[in-house]
Amino acid sequence: MNEDRISELPEALLLHILSYVPTKDVIATSVLSKRWRSLWKMVPKLEFEFDMEHVSSEAVYRSLIFA
């Protein structure tokens, strides 16, 4: 049987680990379980990668509103 040992870690440690993971992958963790659903919102450092020539303020706003 597969055990989910990582979900048993303290929240502070999970957030520390996630702060070193690319933002798109951090957000993708929200589908792992109910516990992980909002965890990404508490990560102290998220870096959004985008091309400044092709981004609008509306696109940034939409990204933040889903948080």
- What is the per-residue pLDDT across 33-63, written as a single tens digit (0 to 9) for each? 888 888 888 888 777 666 666 666 776 667 6
CA-based nearest residue to 29, from 45, 44, 18, 16? 18
- The model's pTM is 0.63
Instruction: State the Cα angle at 41 between 27 and 36, rounded to 5°.
Output: 65
Q: Match 């985008």 to its residue by tokens.
A: 50
Specify the CATH number for the domain of residue 60: 1.20.1280
* Percent of the residues in the chain that have a pLDDT greater than 70, as a whole number: 70
Residue 19 lies in a domain: yes
| Arithmetic mean of pLDDT over the chain | 79
Three-state DSSP class for residue 61? helix
Work out how many domains the chain is built from and give that number: 1
| pLDDT for the residue 63 | 66
| pLDDT for the residue 45 | 78
| pLDDT for the residue 12 | 93
Tokens of 15: 């957030």
| pLDDT for the residue 66 | 62
